[in-house]
Amino acid sequence: MTWIVTRSGRKFDLARPTADMVDPTDITHSLSMQCRFNGHTARFYSVAQHCYLVSDLVPAEHQLAALLHDATEAYVGDMVRPLKEGMRDHAHSLGVTCLYDEVERNVWLAICERFNLDPILPECVKHADLIALATEKRDLMPHHPEPWACLDGIEPFAGFIDPWAPSYAAIHYHHRLLQLLATTHRGRAQA
């Protein structure tokens, strides 16, 4: 079996994902229910709120990509960075592609097709993701003296993160997604 059943009751095939399997409400629900950092935060903080925050940190033309940058996690889950990087390094040392990366990439391509996105994330989205991470580390994680190498040279933004309840995150994420989809598609139709 290579498929999961989503919140909307759809069958989502992880081995052969297609754009018609991707549902905005499934992404919204799942990301609002998943806690960042494997739940090792001071308070519940959803992937949906993280994506919302990242979308706030980029120019308007990249907000949809920013909001959806972690949408694959609605289907494959969130994996902590050290484990994901370790799996990549191990696969690379064997001269093979990491299976997780392959599955995640195919899901990402289906999401990009569904929402008419370029599969290559803009640099501003990647940078905003790191700013959000630095801010989350400061505001939500227990203090630990060990630096995070991925955050070298990255400063958190000035505001403080107030974590949203899953239902609140779902409402705000879904509203922003629908708003951006309407704006994006209307803009492309007029071009």
Segment 49-89, tens digit of pLDDT: 999 999 999 999 999 999 999 999 999 998 777 787 787 78
Query: CA 135 to CA 157: how far, in whole Å?
Result: 6
Cβ atoms of 151 and 41 within 8 Å: the answer is no
The residue-averaged pLDDT of 96-110 equals 89
- Model pTM? 0.91
Segment 27-36, tens digit of pLDDT: 999 999 999 9
Query: CA 23 to CA 114: how far, in whole Å?
Result: 9
Cβ atoms of 167 and 185 within 8 Å: the answer is no
- Residue 25 CB neighbour total at 10 angstroms: 14
Tokens of 61: 């033309």
Query: CA 129 to CA 122: how far, in whole Å?
Result: 11
Does the pLDDT of residue 189 top 60, yes or no?
A: no
Does the pLDDT of residue 163 top 80, yes or no?
A: yes
Q: Enumerate residues 6+ apart whose C-beta is below 8 A from 131.
A: 57, 154, 155, 156, 157
Tell me the CA distances in angstroms from 44 to 25, 32, 40, 128, one per residue in order: 21, 10, 9, 21
The residue-averaged pLDDT of 87-101 equals 79
Does the pLDDT of residue 139 top 80, yes or no?
A: yes
Cβ atoms of 58 and 69 within 8 Å: the answer is no
Query: CA 17 to CA 108: how far, in whole Å?
Result: 9
Segment 12-29, tens digit of pLDDT: 999 999 999 999 999 999
